[in-house]
Structure 1
Amino acid sequence: MADFQKTPFVRDLASSDRKVRDKAVESLTLFLRSRNDLTLVELLKLWKGLFFCFYHSDRPLTQQALARTLSYSLVPSLPQATVHRFLRAFWITIGRDYHSLDRLRLDKYLLLIRCYVGVAFEIFVKGNKTQKSEDGKKRKREDAKGGRGKKQKKQKEVEAPAEEETGDSDGKWANLEAYISIIEEGPLCPMNFDPDQPSKPEVDEGNPNFVPMPHGPDGLRYHLVDIWVDELEKVLEFDEDEESNRKILGDVPMELILRPLEKLRTESPYKPVRTRAAEALDDDRLVEWGIRERKNEEEEVDSDGEWGGFDE
C-alpha cells in the first residue's frame, strides 16, 4: 500500500498540464495491466485521480479520445481478477461526485458514462460469446487431430477443468450477472435515498474490497436508462434474413440484461423513475427483436390509477 501511494502518476493524473496527464494515463495503464492484487480502496484512489484527469480535459476531440482510452482501450486489457473491482470503483466515483459537475462539464462525463456502459457490454456480452465460440472451435480442431496414448490422455486431463469452468450453463453468464448486480446496487438501484447509508461511502479497514455503493442520483439514473438499449444494440448480432423482426443471434440473456430496468419499473418509489424505465422497456427495438410485445393503446392504464381527463 505504501508503494502504491508513492507512485508519481497518481498525483500527475490531476495535473493541469495535458502532456503530464497523458503521460500519467499511459503509466497508469501499464501499472493496472501488470497488477491483479489491487484492492477496491486502492482503485478508488486511482479513480479519484482519473476523475480529475478527465475534469481538466478540454476540447471535444481530446475529451472523446480520453473517454475511449479510459474505457474501450483500458478495461478489456485489465486482468480478469481486477475488472469487476475496477468497474465498481468507477461507479462508486461517478455516483459520489456526479452532483459536483457543472453544466459546462456535464456532457463530457455523460460521454464517459456511455463509454463505460458500452465497454461492459463489449466484455460481458459480446466478449463472452466470442470466447465461447473460439473455445468450441479450438476443442474441435484438437479433437480432429486424433491420436492415442498418453499424450491424448494428458491433453484431456488438462482440458477437463477448463470445460467444466466455461461450459457450465449456470455459470456461463456469471461475469455479466456480477456486473449487473453492481449496477443494481449502485446507479440503477430502485431506492434513491437510503436513510441508513452515510452521505459518503465509509471504508471498512478490515475489508478493503468493500465500500458501499452510492444510490443515484436521478440524473445519472435517467442517463443510464436512456442509453441502456442503445449501447446494447452495438454489441448484438442479428439475423439479417428476418423480414419483419431482427432475430438476435446466440443465447444472449436479455432477461438478465433488462433486469435493472424492470426493477426500476416495478420497485422504484418515484413515479418519474418508473415512467422512464417503462418507456425504455417499451422501446420499439425490443419489440423488433422479439423480446417485448407491443402494447395496445386501449390496454394502457396509468399504474397509479390517476385520472387522465376526458377523451376527445
Structure 2
Amino acid sequence: MSTSSFVKKLASNDRPTRDAALEALRKFLSSKSTKSMSLLDMEKLWKGLYFSMWFCDRPKAQERLAENLGSLYSQVILKDDFAKFVEAFWSIMIKEWPSIDQWRIDKYYLLIRRVVRHNFQFMQSTEWDSEILQKWLDVMNRTVLSGDKSVPVALPYHLCDIWVEELERVLFEDLKDLQSELDELSKEDEDYITKYSELLKRKVEIASEAPITELISPFTRLNKEALLKTLREKCKEDVLDDERLKDWGSVEGDEEEEEEEDDDDEDASEEEWTGF
C-alpha cells in the first residue's frame, strides 16, 4: 500500500473519492499487511483521516464520518495494531490541535468522543484483556493524558467531560430498554423504585466485571501530578468524584474525608467557644 496515495485521497475535497479511500482503508487495516506498518506510517494515515474530517462540512455528514473513523478501532483494526493506532491518533491530534479554528473545533470534539467510545467497545469485546488494556493505558499516559505542557489543555479537559459518559454508554448498552422504561416513569409511580433497583443492581453486576479503577487511573494520576491546578481539579470533579462511579460500586465514597471534616469542625467549634 502507498501511504501517500491514501493520504491524498482521504484528504480530497471530493466526497466519493474520500468514501472510496475509507472503504479501501478498512479492508487494508483488517488485513495482516498492517504488521509491516510503523507508528510513523499510521500517523501519516491519521493525518489523512484528520483532513478528511477537516473537509467535511455538513453536521450529519460530520457525525457519520466521526462514527466511521471511530469504528476503525472496534470493527477493523487488528489486536496487535490497536495500541499503535491509538497512539497515532493522539499524536496527530496533539500536533494539529493548535491549527483548528473555532468553526471546526466541534467536529473534532465529536471525533474524539467517537474514538474514545470505540476504544472502550474494542476492549470490552476482548473481555478487557489485561495486556491490551495495559498497552492502551500506557499510550494514554504517554500522550494526551500525560500532563505534559506540549499537550493542548483542551484535550485532557474534553476527556474529563466525556470519559464517564462514554464508559457508561458502552458498559450498559444492553440495558437501554430497561433505562428507557425507567425514564418514562415519574418517581411517584409505583413501579419506579422496583425498576430503579433492578437497573442499579444490573449496573453494579456489569461494572464489577470491568476494570474501572484502571480505566480512570490516568485521571487519578493527573489529579495528583498535573502541573495545572485547574486540570487537577477537573480530573477530580468530573471523573473521580462522578456519582455514577459510586452508584456502580466502582469507587468508595468519601466517608473518611467527611469524618475528618467533622473532626475539624468540632475542633474549630471548641477553639471558638468562649463560654465559662
TM-score relative to the length of structure 1: 0.69
Task: State the Cα deviation string for residues 111-135 of structure 1 (Å, max 9, x = none).
Answer: 00001111111011x21229xxxxx
1:173 matched to 2:130: yes
Q: Please state which structure has a larger fraction of its residues in helix.
A: 2
Q: Assess if the C-alpha contact under 8 Å between 1:245 and 1:289 holds in 2.
A: no
CA gap of 1:291–1:102, structure 2 versus 1, over 3 A, is: same
Distance 2:171 2:99 in 1: 35
Question: Greater RCO between the two (CA within 8 Å, min separation 6)?
Answer: 1
Which amino acid is 1:278 matched to? K
Counterpart for residue 224 of structure 1: 159
Q: Assess if the C-alpha contact under 8 Å between 1:244 and 1:288 holds in 2.
A: no
Distance 2:49 2:261 in 1: 45
SS at 2:198 equivalent: coil
Which amino acid is 2:125 matched to? G
Q: Assess if the C-alpha contact under 8 Å between 1:10 and 1:49 holds in 2.
A: yes
RMSD of aligned alpha carbons: 2.5
Distance 2:73 2:20 in 1: 14
What are the residue-to-residue correspondences of 1:284-299 with 2, within 5 Å? 284-295=243-254
What are the residue-to-residue correspondences of 1:83-122 with 2, within 5 Å? 83-122=82-121
CA gap of 1:181–1:240, structure 2 versus 1, over 3 A, is: farther
Distance 1:235 1:108 in 2: 21
Task: State the Cα deviation string for residues 27-55 of structure 1 (Å, max 9, x = none).
Answer: 22222222232111111111111111110
Counterpart for residue 28 of structure 2: 31
Q: Percent identity?
A: 35
Q: Which runs of 5+ in 2 are unaligned?
A: 176-195, 263-276
Task: State the Cα deviation string for residues 238-270 of structure 1 (Å, max 9, x = none).
Answer: 896376894142531122111001011111121
Q: How many residues align?
A: 234
Counterpart for residue 304 of structure 1: none
CA gap of 1:289–1:12, structure 2 versus 1, over 3 A, is: same
Shift of 1:4: 2.2
1:51 matched to 2:50: yes
2:210 to 234, 244, 252: 252
Q: Assess if the C-alpha contact under 8 Å between 1:245 and 1:290 holds in 2.
A: no
Q: Which moved further from structure 2: 73-82 or 289-298? A: 289-298
Distance 2:112 2:94 in 1: 11
Q: Assess if the C-alpha contact under 8 Å between 2:74 and 2:121 holds in 1.
A: no
What are the residue-to-residue correspondences of 1:257-296 with 2, within 5 Å? 257-279=215-237, 280-295=239-254
Which amino acid is 2:246 matched to? V
Shift of 1:273: 0.5
Which amino acid is 1:257 matched to? L
1:183 to 128, 131, 140: 140
Counterpart for residue 6 of structure 2: 9
CA gap of 1:282–1:245, structure 2 versus 1, over 3 A, is: farther
1:19 matched to 2:16: yes
Distance 1:231 1:116 in 2: 10
Q: Which runs of 5+ in 1 are unaligned?
A: 131-171, 194-214, 302-312
1:71 matched to 2:70: yes
Counterpart for residue 127 of structure 1: 125
Distance 1:267 1:57 in 2: 38
Which amino acid is 1:184 matched to? N
CA gap of 1:231–1:242, structure 2 versus 1, over 3 A, is: closer
SS at 1:117 equivalent: helix
Counterpart for residue 61 of structure 1: 60
